[in-house]
A and B are shown apart, each in its own frame.
Chain A
């Protein structure tokens, strides 16, 4: 394949992944890696390196707006980054010891979980009334703006959230994804932060988490500009378009369709991984 054709193909895949990622809330990276390896036969390690770069770009772009609007809880983010960066380093070191087949199977399982999450409608988690002792000491409680005015919120179960964040970091470093879904679960369902604050804080944290493993991948030579660049530009463009389209789309129907698509991709990842074809 010529460089031009390869670049265009990667760019096209990345745009679709960014679009799908922002319409489902999954993020582009989790779709771009299997697409590159299944459709173009790109070595999984190059695909993971490239998608990690796109993760840093999209999360930094999104976080710039969230942080400016005071939606990201900076203290919660930095506190939990201790866990995610440690996890990301663990994951990146671990990935060097696993075969691409094993990586593909783990990727497929995580992807299957994402398919299941987007197929269900989100239920409101009850908000805690009383903050935890650590949360008060670290001043994690916060305020955010809603259409009905400023709302105060409290943070609980700091240790549980912290532990789950370590796992999110490991998966991020291992698979080159942002693991935003797991980060949101840790904050929204476990620690009791409002859903909007959870997603905004997750975007804020993803960049730092991804960088902790990206530097290790860079040194190993997994990050090639010829792949990483069209992936970064495509996912960025796709997710920006997706964010514009989102309010005008029949999101519920789309999520159902995408859940099936993602489930099929994950099944293929698992099968190809087990056959040792990737």
Chain B
């Protein structure tokens, strides 16, 4: 029951997932080493949600802090690189849905093109909502 196209698609999806996790772990470890080496003794406190993490919610800003911004501390730079790893991880399943959409399109499997676009639409909605 598994046709050749389906098997090919499965391999592409499998590789995407693996690469995404490896990228996320790599960026995460580099970031953690940086922010720990810079501020190992800095006090932290997460007992109460303060909402200051929204700082990390803007991909463009995180990207700038991770690589270009000159005025930023090593600790903040490390945390930004770590956050990029988390972004990579979040993008992985989204990319997986996009790739299956393309796969079904190439198979001219219109029912599944439709179903996949509904899933994609709800993901987009959750990203761009508000």
A→B interface (CB under 8 Å) = 1-4, 6-7, 40-43, 45-46, 53, 56-57, 60-61, 63-65, 67-68, 70, 72, 74-75, 78-79, 81-82, 85-86, 88-89, 92, 137-138, 141-143, 152, 207-208, 210-216, 218-230, 232-233, 236
Contacts and interface: CB of A to CB of B under 8 A. Distances in A.
Interface of B: 1-2, 6-7, 9-11, 13-15, 17-18, 20-21, 24-25, 28-29, 31-32, 35-36, 39-49, 51-57, 79, 82-83, 85-86, 89-90, 92-94, 96-97, 100, 111-112, 115-116, 118-119, 122-123, 125-127, 129-130
Given A228-B86, A236-B25, A152 B119 contact: no
Contact of B49 (A67, A75, A219, A222): A222
A220 to B, nearest CB: 7
Contact of A152 (B1, B20, B39): B1
Nearest to A219: B57
Nearest to A210: B93
A165 to B, nearest CB: 12
A223 B56 contact: yes
Contacts of B13: 67, 74
B41 A207 contact: no
A65 B40 CA distance: 37
Contacts of B130: 219
A141 B41 CA distance: 56
Nearest to B28: A229
Given A3-B39, A215-B123, 8 more contacts: A46-B46, A60-B21, A211-B90, A216-B129, A218-B56, A223-B56, A225-B56, A226-B79
Contacts, number: 196
A88 B127 CA distance: 13
Given A43-B46, A46-B49, A224-B56, A229 B86 contact: yes
A207 B17 contact: yes
A2 B112 contact: no
A215 B90 contact: yes
B57 A218 contact: yes
Contacts of B57: 218-221
Contact of B41 (A3, A63, A233): A3
A143 to B, nearest CB: 5
B89 A56 contact: yes
Nearest to A60: B17
Nearest to A236: B25
B17 A3 contact: no
B115 A233 contact: no
